Amino acid sequence: MIKERKSIIKLMITTGALFLGLLIFNNQSVKAAVTVHDDSSINVVSSGGYPAPIYSDPQCTQPTGQTLNTTISEWRVNHIAYDDSNNQNTFQSFDLGTNQWVKIGDVFYTIDPNSPENSYGYHDILEAFSSGKKIPIYNNPQLSKITGYLDPNISEWAVTGDATTGPDKSIGRLNLGQNQWIDASQVVTIYNSYIFNAGTPLYNESGVQTGTLSTINGSSILYYRAFGAKIINGEIHIRLGTNNQWAKLKQSYRDI
């Protein structure tokens, strides 16, 4: 059973190794909509011991029949392939040596099954909010095997760790405890703190407005701790204090 209270344990990822050889070349286009870079933005990726398939091409269409060593968790990156078909220059795959490519999603920028709470802003997660959806649970961040589903009668889930997809710490996966991973894109990640502007309306649980946020010490930019999330009148609200102090999530922002 997934814990509904947070229990945070710091887990250090074991030091990895350079996988096989090195392939040396500079920026070049490879097939349609994929560009390979000799890029230093990511030096190491993590597989978490997953036997990720290895491909001979950056599009990852030609499997070599080999997989990553499951006794090694971290791998040095030699080149990065970007999928720029959508003009967002997103990661496609990583070359771990001599045209040995692995997909993003099979490896991650970081995998922290038990992230330290409040260690830095990107990991300052209060909970995952599922909106009562029956979301698949997997046995690893690669989402290779479904082990169950979130209970649709529950919307708020404690988060013990995550897997990030790049240097900006974008969260791709969330661990709900005991290696119960979900795709972060299927939930709303609720953080411990948010910024609101003075004048933001407050509501009770029935959706009746109870007031507005006031300036604090003359400042109209207000930092508030979140205490939970709830759908009120079809929109996600976060609780800033009592049950008469719910604010719309879409009216908040974060400064990281």
Residue 121: what pLDDT? 46
Distance CA 72, CA 88 (A): 31
| Final residue of a structural domain among 86, 107, 128 | 107
Same domain, 210 and 237: yes
In a domain, 121, yes or no: yes
* 139 and 199 assigned to the same domain: no
Rounded-to-integer distance, Cα 59 and Cα 94, Å: 10
Cβ pair 23, 98 in contact under 8 A? yes
170 lies in some domain: yes
Whether residue 182 sits in one domain with residue 122: yes
Domain count, the chain: 3
Choose the final residue of a domain: 60, 78, 107.
107
Same domain, 186 and 197: no
* Contact by Cβ (8 Å): 42, 71: no
In a domain, 15, yes or no: no
Same domain, 141 and 209: no
Indicate whether 117 and 157 sit together in one domain. yes
Q: In a structure prediction context, what are the per-residue pLDDT tens digits for the chain, which is 256 residues long?
A: 444 433 332 222 233 333 333 333 333 434 547 788 776 778 999 999 999 999 999 999 999 999 999 999 999 999 999 887 765 567 889 999 989 999 999 999 999 887 645 444 446 899 999 999 999 999 999 999 999 999 999 999 999 999 998 877 789 999 999 999 999 999 999 999 999 999 999 999 999 999 999 999 999 999 999 999 999 999 999 999 999 999 999 999 997 6
Asked if residue 39 belongs to a domain, the reply is yes
pLDDT at residue 169, rounded to an integer: 78
Give the pLDDT confidence of 182-200 residue by residue, as tens digits: 999 999 999 999 999 999 9
Exposed/middle/buried for residue 109 (C-beta within 10 Å: 0-12, 13-18, 19+): buried
Alpha helices in the chain (DSSP H): none
Domain ranges, residue 84: 28-107
pTM above 0.85, yes or no: no
**Is the domain of 176 the same as that of 213?**
no
SS3 of residue 189 by DSSP: strand
Domain shared by 186 and 234, yes or no:
no
- Claim to verify: residue 71 and residue 126 sit in the same structural domain: no
